[in-house]
Amino acid sequence: MTVHARPNPKGLSAEERAAMSHRFIKRHDVAMMLLHWFNALVWLLELATGAGLIVSDRYSFVPAGFTEFMLNIFGSRASMLQFHIAVGVFWTVVLLVYGIVGFKSYALSFYRNDLAIDRDDLRWLKNKALRILGRPVRLPEQGLFNAGQKLYAWVVSIGSAVIIGTGFVMAYHIGPQWLIQWSMPLHFGAVGAVVAGLVIHVYMGSILPEERPAFFSMLHGRVNELYAYEYHTKWWCQRKKEERDFREELAREEEREAKSSERVRHPPGLRIK
């Protein structure tokens, strides 16, 4: 198949589309997938216990039956709070270890390159909104993540930092009283922002066809090449360039080895009769 200078999905033949749909490109490393599902489990536990701990005579975030269900599991709100704090501390430790050990390998590149927002991303957000409203506009080419995924990743990253910081302040009464009091609305606000993004993230990943391959890539780390070509064109072009450069370097290395072997068999100055 010919690699186009500027990919045009509509210009692909049926044979090319079929062939690309059966070829896969690595999208995520094992460490990234493990971190993703670890975070999902932590959020499930923390949201369940956190919702069970919120009790007020004026308002209720969850049905009374859910609170009773959680109390039946833990026995008391004190035990539920201790579990909530323990999971939060464990989550913090894992994130710190991941950030320190994988700083150069994963974290730095992830935030500096994969999540960097450029003009195409801003145009993508605008045009995506217009598309939802029914306007037939073209979406700009995207990298490894589209602008919506990048925006959600930043919300989760900043929100998680706020949640962890305020959580430690509230759990261990760190700092003056005003700091502890302000930590409560900040903690709830950050959780609300992340949960709102999470609902959209799960909906788009499980329902929308253009997002579904990205969702399943968190299970096996790969996406088919046709999906990458159509929805993450910048990344697809980069991967193709890397493959081409690798093949060229491999060919040059084989050529150097062949010349070296020839010199060993026939040293300079040696007459062969």
Two tokens at 93? 């430790």
Give the residue carrying structure tokens 């070509």.
229
Stronger pLDDT, 120 or 201, i.e. the higher one: 120
Q: What is the mean predicted confidence (pLDDT) over 165-194?
A: 96
**What is the percent of the chain where pLDDT is above 90?**
56
DSSP label of 10: G
The pLDDT assigned to 102 comes to 82
Q: In terms of DSSP H, where are the helices of the chain?
A: 14-21, 30-53, 64-74, 77-101, 108-109, 119-132, 147-172, 177-207, 212-220, 225-231, 233-265
C-alpha torsion angle, residues 42, 43, 49, 54 (rounded to 10): 150
Q: Which pTM value belongs to this model?
A: 0.83
C-alpha distances out from residue 204 to 199, 201, 246, Å = 9, 5, 35
**CA angle, 237 then 240 then 242, to 5°:** 110
Q: What is the pLDDT of residues 9-60, one digit of tens each?
A: 556 888 888 899 899 999 998 988 999 999 999 999 999 999 999 877 676 7
> For 73-82, what is each residue's pLDDT tens digit?
999 999 999 9
CATH superfamily of 24-262: Transmembrane di-heme cytochromes, Chain C (1.20.950.20)
Contact 52, 67 (CB under 8 A): yes
Domain ranges of the chain: 24-262
Assess whether pLDDT exceeds 80 at residue 6: no
Count of positions (residues) in the chain: 273
Say what the pLDDT of residue 8 is.
52
pLDDT exceeds 80 at position 233: yes
Average pLDDT, the chain: 87
Whether 7 has a pLDDT exceeding 60, the answer reads no
Helix, strand or coil for residue 246? helix
> Tell me, what's the pLDDT at 267?
63
